[in-house]
């Protein structure tokens, strides 16, 4: 099927290819210079891109503003850390994080999908806040210190094995993992479910008249977003060797939102560019002042005021024109000025 | 029997009074949130930061030697022009975007980041403890309660009554409610809707500032102090019904009492989850909250 969504997805794929190639080049540069700090930072940016992708799915495609995606990110990270401390097995940790965030996402979805609009935003905010405080106050989970001493593991991939201790290899592995997640989500958005989701964002009242269940679409989107955030979070302790309650705090959810908005809502690939940009900014500003919030906040406000479609959303129409001919540009113009 | 009475007298009653003092402060913050939402359809994510600005404003002015009792009036007044500027030049620009709720929420969230960091730059990340203007305790029917908390309860009730009176019993309040109910119709009947919007936002922010001034002597003052408070305020607003004044008052008292009494039985760190559970239960039964929206009831 050839339509607006497929065309915009093809443009996003082009941007994803550029991003992946750029990331591989960075990895090559890193391995040539023997750097590990920036590669680790880059890996963290990729993990955060996973969290930002879950925001993309909910807000960018479904129009559902969640202020608590860090809940699932943190839950995945904690479960992964707990498993890894007992048995250092990658697949076991991933499986446990997947199962736990699935259950948590279903429970959270049942609660949050009772309400819509701003209530949804506030209740997701509240759920994450309460979960974070609970973890913060639970001594068994390390309380405010979090869990330390997560061993560095080897990721078995068929005949090969990637060591999390090797910055280059782990960076490339996480890049591959996130690209896979991206492709899965892109596929999902092309299915009938994805169409219902985008239809719901366009006009929530009409969708039920066409015979589709709003509740089901919202629930599936919410649970899938929880899973994406959860498995991304599960990678975090493998990278850093520890987890802390900060991973669940609103700051983390807020960062994911900022990344998704600055990268471009409704582009999916914007999550990667946003995460890379914000992580880089934080690192650069952080090297000479601790007040990076004010810069990022100002950038975010400016993006909402002057570039509401984000970086990728701004340049994507051109990519679409190259990929799909002039017709696409006309369709875009009509969409903006009907 | 006497044991029960003693329990009520010396443990339950003081705890409930302390809960009420907290409740009054939560209500002041939630009242601003609910008014801004009820009128402008904006979730003000920077409300907690305005609350912190109120507290820091009081702190800075008291360093300059301004009398505390004057601050209670002065700080909220000083915040009004700031709020008007924010509404005029930032929030108003995204009113007409496709999804107003989302874009205004994100905008005020970005603003919150900026304001929080500004406070950190100006005052440093450390915790300040302003002097208590009313030290000592008062004997109220055999219950000793810090005098300042009693004063807080009194002034809170006065503010709530004043807000309710203005909203429901004056011509100004009628204009505000009309603008909330149908901005176009109110505009064509001569209500200056733009001014009402700015005014309502400024008023909500001033209430947050007032809460900051009033709470500074009880709680410590630090740049992220709004974070702790805002969840409770949001919960109160959701349970009470977004945009409802009486809803905010009733939910504010009820939820802080739940919090106060439950911390007698279990560890206070679990009070937040319990309050949240109450919110979930209310939403299960009445997703729109306990009361209807400002101007719609």
Find the mean pLDDT for residues B152-158: 90
Decide which of A4 and B105 is more confident: B105
Whether residue A301 lies within 8 A of chain B, CB to CB, comes out as yes
CB contact under 8 A, B283 and A121: no
CB contact under 8 A, A123 and B231: no
Window 75-104 of B: residues touching A by CB (8 A cutoff) are 90, 93-94, 97, 99, 101-103
CB contact under 8 A, B112 and A114: no
The pTM for the full model equals: 0.89
Contacting residues of B for A119, CB less than 8 Å apart: 238, 242, 283, 287
How far B195 CA sits from the closest chain A CA (Å)? 22
Residue B212 is encoded by which pair of tokens? 């900051």
CB contact under 8 A, B114 and A111: no
Contacting residues of B for A298, CB less than 8 Å apart: 110, 114
Whether residue B109 lies within 8 A of chain A, CB to CB, comes out as yes
Under 8 Å between Cβ of B248 and B236: yes
Nearest residue on chain B to A138, alpha-carbon basis: B269
Nearest residue on chain B to A143, alpha-carbon basis: B269
pLDDT band per the 50, 70, 90 thresholds, residue B48: very high
The phi-psi region of residue B43 (left if phi > 0; otherwise alpha if psi is between -120 and 50; otherwise beta) is beta
CB contact under 8 A, A297 and B111: yes
CB contact under 8 A, A304 and B114: no
The DSSP line for A247-308 is: GGSHHHHHHHHHHHHHH-TT-STHHHHHHHHHHHHHHHHHTT-S--HHHHHHHHHHHHHH-T
How far A335 CA sits from the closest chain B CA (Å)? 13
Distance CA A307, CA A52 (A): 18
How far A294 CA sits from the closest chain B CA (Å)? 4
Per-residue HEC secondary structure of chain B comes to: CHHHHHHHHHHHHHHHHHHHHHHHHHHHHHHHHHHHHHHHCCCCCCHHHHHHHHHHHHHHHHHCCCCHHHHHHHHHHHHHHHHHHHHHHCHHHHCCCCCHHHHHHHHHHHHHHHHHHHHHHHHCCCCECCCCCCCCEEEECCEEEEHHHHHHHHHHHHHHHHHHHHHHHCHHHHHHHHHHHCHHHHHHCCCCHHHHHHHHHHHHHHHHHHHHHHHCCCCCECCCHHHHHHHHHHHHHHHHCCCCHHHHHHHHHHHHHHHHHHHHHCCHHHHHHHHHHHHHHHHHHCCCCCCCCCCCC
Whether residue A294 lies within 8 A of chain B, CB to CB, comes out as yes
Estimate to the nearest angstrom the gap between the alpha carbon of A263 and the chain centroid: 11
- Residue of A118, A129, A258 with shortest CB distance to B242: A118
- Residue of B110, B238, B242 with shortest CB distance to A297: B110
How far A184 CA sits from the closest chain B CA (Å)? 26
CB contact under 8 A, A115 and B272: no
How far B165 CA sits from the closest chain A CA (Å)? 28
Task: Give strand pairing partners of B137.
Answer: B146
Find the mean pLDDT for residues A144-173: 86
Whether residue A296 lies within 8 A of chain B, CB to CB, comes out as yes
Provide the mean pLDDT of chain A.
89
* Terminal-residue alpha carbon distance, chain B: 46
pLDDT in tens, B257-283: 888 888 888 877 777 788 888 887 787
Window 126-185 of A: residues touching B by CB (8 A cutoff) are 126-127, 129-130, 133-134, 137
Does A275 have pLDDT greater than 90? yes
pLDDT in tens, B210-241: 999 988 888 888 888 888 788 888 888 888 88
Does A176 have pLDDT greater than 70? yes
Percentage of chain A surpassing pLDDT 90? 53
Whether residue B56 lies within 8 A of chain A, CB to CB, comes out as no
Kindly provide the ipTM of the predicted complex, given to two decimals: 0.88
Window 202-221 of B: residues touching A by CB (8 A cutoff) are none
pLDDT in tens, A124-136: 988 898 888 889 8
- Residue of B37, B106, B235 with shortest CB distance to A304: B106
How far B9 CA sits from the closest chain A CA (Å)? 31
How far A135 CA sits from the closest chain B CA (Å)? 11
How far A134 CA sits from the closest chain B CA (Å)? 7
Positive or negative, the CA dihedral A17, A21, A22, A26 is positive
How far B90 CA sits from the closest chain A CA (Å)? 8
pLDDT at A281: 92
Contacting residues of B for A111, CB less than 8 Å apart: 280, 283
pLDDT at B297: 43
Distance CA A271, CA A225 (A): 13
CB contact under 8 A, B238 and A119: yes
Does A1 have pLDDT greater than 60? no
pLDDT in tens, A44-66: 999 999 999 999 999 999 999 99
Decide which of B27 and B11 is more confident: B27
Whether residue B281 lies within 8 A of chain A, CB to CB, comes out as no
CB contact under 8 A, B238 and A122: yes
CB contact under 8 A, B121 and A250: no
Distance CA B208, CA A257 (A): 25
Decide which of B144 and A305 is more confident: A305
CB contact under 8 A, A121 and B107: no
CB contact under 8 A, B227 and A250: yes
- Residue of A126, A293, A296 with shortest CB distance to B279: A126
Find the mean pLDDT for residues B113-141: 83
Q: Which of A323-327, B176-180, B209-213 has the lowest mean pLDDT?
A: A323-327
Does A337 have pLDDT greater than 60? no
Percentage of chain A surpassing pLDDT 70? 95
Q: Which of A123-132, A152-161, A183-192, B111-120 has the lowest mean pLDDT?
A: A152-161
Best mean pLDDT range from A195-209, A267-281, B129-143? A267-281
Under 8 Å between Cβ of B108 and A300: no
Contacting residues of A for B279, CB less than 8 Å apart: 123, 126
pLDDT at A259: 95
Provide the mean pLDDT of chain B.
85
CATH class name, domain A4-336: mainly alpha
How far A207 CA sits from the closest chain B CA (Å)? 18
Q: At what angle do helices A270-286 and A250-263 cross, to 10 degrees?
A: 120
pLDDT at B268: 74
């Amino acid at each position: 099927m050839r339509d607006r969504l497929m065309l915009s997805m093809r443009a996003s794929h082009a941007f994803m290819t550029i991003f992946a190639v750029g990331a591989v080049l960075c990895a090559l540069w890193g391995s040539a210079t023997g750097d590990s700090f920036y590669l680790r930072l880059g890996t963290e940016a990729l993990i955060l891109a996973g969290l930002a992708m879950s925001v993309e799915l909910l807000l960018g495609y479904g129009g559902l503003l969640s202020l608590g995606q860090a809940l699932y990110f943190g839950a995945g990270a904690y479960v992964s850390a707990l498993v890894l401390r007992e048995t250092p097995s990658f697949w076991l940790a991933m499986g446990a994080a997947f199962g736990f965030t699935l259950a948590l996402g279903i429970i959270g979805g049942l609660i949050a999908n009772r309400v819509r609009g701003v209530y949804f935003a506030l209740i997701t905010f509240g759920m994450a806040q309460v979960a974070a405080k609970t973890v913060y106050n639970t001594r068994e989970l390390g309380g405010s210190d979090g869990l330390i001493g997560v061993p560095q593991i080897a990721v078995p991939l068929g005949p090969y094995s990637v060591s999390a201790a090797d910055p280059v290899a782990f960076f490339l592995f996480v890049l591959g993992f996130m690209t896979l997640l991206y492709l899965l989500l892109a596929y999902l958005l092309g299915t009938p479910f994805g169409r219902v989701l985008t239809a719901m964002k366009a006009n929530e009242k009409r969708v039920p008249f066409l015979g589709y269940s709003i509740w089901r679409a919202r629930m599936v989107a919410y649970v899938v977003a929880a899973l994406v955030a959860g498995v991304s979070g599960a990678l975090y302790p493998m990278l850093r060797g520890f987890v802390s309650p900060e991973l669940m705090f609103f700051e983390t959810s807020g960062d994911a939102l900022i990344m998704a908005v600055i990268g471009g809502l409704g582009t999916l690939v914007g999550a990667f560019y946003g995460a890379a940009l914000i992580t880089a900014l934080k690192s650069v500003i952080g090297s000479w002042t601790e007040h990076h919030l004010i810069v990022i906040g100002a950038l975010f406000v400016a993006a909402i005021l002057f570039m509401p479609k984000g970086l990728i959303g701004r340049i994507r129409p051109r990519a679409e024109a190259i990929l799909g001919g002039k017709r696409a540009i006309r369709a875009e113009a009509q969409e903006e000025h009907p | 029997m006497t044991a029960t009475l003693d329990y009520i007298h010396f443990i339950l009653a003081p705890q409930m009074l302390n809960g009420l003092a907290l409740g009054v402060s939560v209500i002041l913050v939630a009242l601003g949130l609910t008014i801004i939402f009820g009128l402008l359809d904006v979730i003000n994510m920077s409300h907690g930061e305005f609350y912190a600005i109120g507290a820091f404003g009081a702190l800075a002015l008291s360093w300059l030697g301004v009398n505390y009792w004057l601050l209670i009036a002065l700080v909220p007044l000083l915040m009004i022009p700031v709020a008007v500027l924010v509404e005029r030049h930032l929030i108003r620009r995204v009113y007409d975007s496709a999804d107003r709720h989302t874009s205004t929420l994100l905008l005020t969230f970005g603003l919150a980041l900026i304001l929080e960091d500004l406070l950190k730059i100006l005052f440093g990340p450390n915790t300040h403890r302003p002097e208590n203007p009313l030290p000592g305790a008062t004997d109220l029917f055999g219950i000793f309660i810090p005098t300042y908390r009693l004063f807080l309860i009194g002034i809170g009730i006065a503010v709530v009554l004043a807000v309710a009176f203005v909203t429901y019993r004056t011509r100004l309040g009628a204009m505000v409610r009309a603008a909330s109910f149908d901005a176009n119709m109110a505009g064509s009947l001569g209500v200056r809707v733009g001014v009402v919007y700015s005014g309502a936002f400024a008023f909500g922010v001033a209430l947050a500032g007032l809460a900051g001034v009033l709470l500074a002597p009880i709680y410590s003052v630090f740049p992220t102090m709004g974070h702790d408070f805002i969840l409770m305020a949001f919960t109160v607003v959701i349970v009470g019904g977004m945009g409802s004044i009486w809803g905010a008052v009733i939910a504010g008292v009820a939820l802080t009492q739940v919090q106060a009494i439950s911390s007698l039985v279990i560890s206070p760190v679990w009070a937040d989850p319990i309050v949240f559970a109450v919110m979930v239960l209310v939403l299960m039964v009445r997703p729109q909250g306990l009361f209807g929206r400002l101007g719609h009831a």
